[in-house]
Structure 1
Amino acid sequence: MKFLIKPVLALSIFALVAPVYAFEVSSKDIQEGHPMAKTFEYKGWGCDGGNLSPQLMWKDAPEGTKSFAITAFDPDAPTGSGFWHWVAINIPASVSELPRGVNIEKLGGQNLRIDYGTVGFGGVCPPENDGMHRYQFTVWALPTEKLNLNEDTSAAVAGFTLNSMALDKVTLTATYTR
């Protein structure tokens, strides 16, 4: 009987001192593993969608979070290196939701250049008949209020920077096919 009590007691004490957070991201516009609407398709490069960013919300960011970044990445793009659709940084820690078609600058954040050659969100636009593409919308919790990157910083360098310092990150992956 003594052997059963000690492990249970140890687990109970651990549960009291272990950090209790599970950083989560969700959306009213896109769902994990499901196709996105044409509203989120790019307008250009042969696509004629609404080019709006989806609504995103997150909760339970880790302690010490001072800002957020948002990225949208297509690992299935036929480039050999994927395709960056959005890199937004310096989003204040007080923000936990982005409305559809958000203006990041109005929230205090900053957009960087993406692979379309523009600054800001660029919707999905996989090549026709290229099969299903995954679009990874990632929210990054960061330990600093401001990243010293400018709008011409490449998405790859921004991704490297985010990976090197993030306290945590959560990803919602939606799909699209043309």
Structure 2
Amino acid sequence: MSTDNPFTRLPEAASFTVTSTTVADGAAWSPEQLSGIAGVPGGKDISPQLSWHGAPDGTRSYAVTVYDPDAPTGSGFWHWAVADIPATVGELPEGAGDDTGSGLPEGAFQLPNDARAARFFGAAPPPGHGPHRYLVVVYALDVASIGVPADATPAFLGFVMSGHTLGRAVLTATAETPA
């Protein structure tokens, strides 16, 4: 597992807090957050519960991403991206990232992940590749709508957010598939 922090390459932003009843910071995902789509035993592709607080003044919306910087792709792997979460919202329930986004607040939408599905794609590190980090990030933004199309990539969302990010809250989960 690399210790590279991809956020050191981004503009500075205030820190705030994200927690989860699903996974503790630094702990392994439960089987529910592993990928059944990719055939991981016990995997169910259920998005984690997330709560956040302490965002900077001026926050007008949030976005949430789940990213694996350790994926053997040269560009990591985006597991989930949600945009346009209203500033009045401070929590997403477990399972919000299903095929329909049934647990998302009105106005929020999921972008296609790197498997090209607009939903949460659970952890699926290659067998024997070692532990992977999953960076669960809540972004506090200075706009009510980030203005990206629903079919945009999470990388494009990140590019557009770079000029609108007031704060970032980061929780790191892990997963490893034995050889």
Structure 2 matches for 1:125-140, cutoff 5 A? Answer: 125-140=124-139
Structure 2 residue 47 is matched with structure 1 residue 53:
yes
Choose the corresponding residue for 1:107, options 90, 105, 108. 105
Paired position in structure 2 for 1:93: 87
Paired position in structure 1 for 2:119: 120
Structure 2 residue 68 is matched with structure 1 residue 69:
no
Q: Secondary structure at the match of 2:162?
A: helix
Partners in 2 of 1:110 and 1:46 — Cα distance?
26
Q: Which structure has greater helix proportion?
A: 1
Partner amino acid, structure 2, of 1:154: T
How many positions carry a matched residue from both structures? 158
Paired position in structure 1 for 2:24: 31
Partners in 2 of 1:113 and 1:67 — Cα distance?
20
**How many percent identity over aligned positions?**
39
Partner amino acid, structure 1, of 2:81: V
Instruction: Report how far residue 113 of structure 1 moved.
Output: 0.9
Partner amino acid, structure 2, of 1:63: D
Partners in 2 of 1:177 and 1:64 — Cα distance?
39
Q: Secondary structure at the match of 2:163?
A: helix
Give the root-mean-square deviation of aligned CA atoms.
1.5
TM-score by length of 1: 0.84
1:70-102: CA deviation from partner (whole Å, max 9, x where unpaired):
000000000000000011000011110111101
Partner amino acid, structure 2, of 1:28: T
Partners in 1 of 2:126 and 2:78 — Cα distance?
15
Q: Secondary structure at the match of 2:64?
A: strand
Question: Unaligned 5+ residue runs, structure 1?
Answer: 1-20
Q: Considering only CA atoms, is the larger Rg found in Structure 1 or Structure 2? A: 1
Instruction: Report how far residue 22 of structure 1 moved.
Output: 5.6
Q: Secondary structure at the match of 1:44?
A: coil
Partners in 2 of 1:29 and 1:145 — Cα distance?
28
Partners in 1 of 2:129 and 2:85 — Cα distance?
34
